[in-house]
Amino acid sequence: MHIKVKNNVDWVGKIDWQLKKFHGNELSTNRGSSYNSYLIKEEKNVLIDTAWKPYAEEYVANLKKEIDLEKIDFIVANHGEIDHSGALPELMKQIPDTPIYCSAAGVKSIKGHYHQDWNFRVVKTGDRLDIGNGRELVFIEMKMLHWPDSMAAYLTKDNILFSNDAFGQHYASEHMFNDLVDQGCLYEEALKYYANIIAPFSPLVEKKIDELLALNFQVDIIATSHGVIWRDNPAQIIEKYLQWSKGYQENQITILYDTMWDGTKRMAETITEGIKSRDNDVTIKLFNMARHDKNDIITEVFRSKMVLVGSPTVNRGVTTATAGILEELEGLKFKNKKAAAFGCYGWSGESAARIGKLLEKAGFEVVNEGIRCMWNPDEESLEMCRKFGMEVITR
């Protein structure tokens, strides 16, 4: 199976409709994904990236239907992570001497995974590879977007940027092009991808996009390594990345809670009443951290100007769901967000203070000391929650 991208460039990847978790269990992919690989047939034949390891045999069998493997002149490995390099061992069994173009860090990464001394050709930003018919591939290092070895390749004349992970989405679609899919779903998945994968490297995103723009390449198509290909107004996703990389926030407050006997849940709902009584325009979203998809929660936090986090006190600490989210938020390094803590307790009551500290460590501006309610909140405690909601909205 192949899908024509433009002229002599075809998609020869794998659509993974059943993928629900990625990076082990770290990332939910509720709409599946795809591992995009591209075959360019000019005077030289070039393969860009492969597919995830479980699909290696299927991928190579499919590729054989598209081209005699011996006729592949160059392989470009834009990134060594196994979702893109995973079919290399199967492929290289059959064409062991074919040169693999990658970054210096790419050699380390690919060797680190497969322990093979393939015919690596190290490239850096600005290096060009002539593939005939007036076309060249120009390499652009994309260091830390999102691995040290990440790289992109630009095909002149066809004006296609093979961007690898950058600008991708975990979004399975047989259509494979951005103009043919549901725009709401596409936006949600691109944003989730940014918030959960790219966000820690936001300071580099702006620099890298500036560097790309300075190369003055006309980009008609951004062919990512996951999800659909941006062929209709590809600048739209570059503009979004620029917005998302600069302390992005919407007029939204996200309230995250965990609860054992519904006390902290009632606090969350009553804080919401307080916020709404003062500001009916702000979007407020509540999530039970133990029940809701954690990566969707992360995306909602990314969209927010403020996050309120509540947990009951358990063994002088917080629940495991709360700890997990806070750990994740520390690593993601979101900027430009305020926060506060709350929680129920029976006797010792450390949760709110602990959440406050962890939020601060994660880079949030913690606006107050937080509130706590003993046992199941009574009317007096609920009134305190209402006032808390009224107060945080003024921050």
Catalytic residues: 23, 79, 81, 83, 146, 165, 193, 226
Token pair for 108: 């380390």
- Cα separation of 170 and 27, whole Å? 10
- Cα separation of 33 and 19, whole Å? 6
At 283, is the secondary structure helix, strand, or coil?
Answer: strand
- Cα separation of 311 and 289, whole Å? 9
Q: Please, which of residues 340-369 interact with ligand FEO by CB under 6 A? A: none
Residue (10 or 149) nearer to ligand FEO, CB: 149
- Cα separation of 154 and 164, whole Å? 11
Distance in Å, CB of 122 to ligand FEO, minimum: 19
Residue (78 or 270) nearer to ligand FEO, CB: 78
Of 43-51, 80-88, 353-361, 374-382, which part binds ligand FEO (CB under 6 A)?
Answer: 80-88
Cβ(215)–Cβ(156) below 8 Å:
no
- 95 DSSP assignment: S
Of 61-69, 79-87, 102-110, 332-340, which part binds ligand FEO (CB under 6 A)?
Answer: 79-87
Of 11-19, 39-47, 76-84, 371-379, which part binds ligand FEO (CB under 6 A)?
Answer: 76-84
Q: Does 194 bind ligand FEO (CB under 6 A)?
A: no
Give the contact letters, 128-157, x = binds to ligand FEO (CB under 6 A), - = no: ------------------xx----------
Of 53-61, 77-85, 314-322, 338-346, which part binds ligand FEO (CB under 6 A)?
Answer: 77-85
- Measured over the CA atoms of residue 177, residue 179, residue 180 and residue 185, the dihedral's sign is positive
**Residue 131 parent element (H or E):** strand 128-132
Q: Please, which of residues 219-238 interact with ligand FEO by CB under 6 A? A: 225-226
Distance in Å, CB of 178 to ligand FEO, minimum: 18
Cβ(57)–Cβ(172) below 8 Å:
no
Residue 273: CB atoms within 10 A of its CB come to: 14
Question: Which residues form the interface with ligand FEO (CB under 6 A)?
Answer: 79, 81, 83-84, 146-147, 165, 225-226
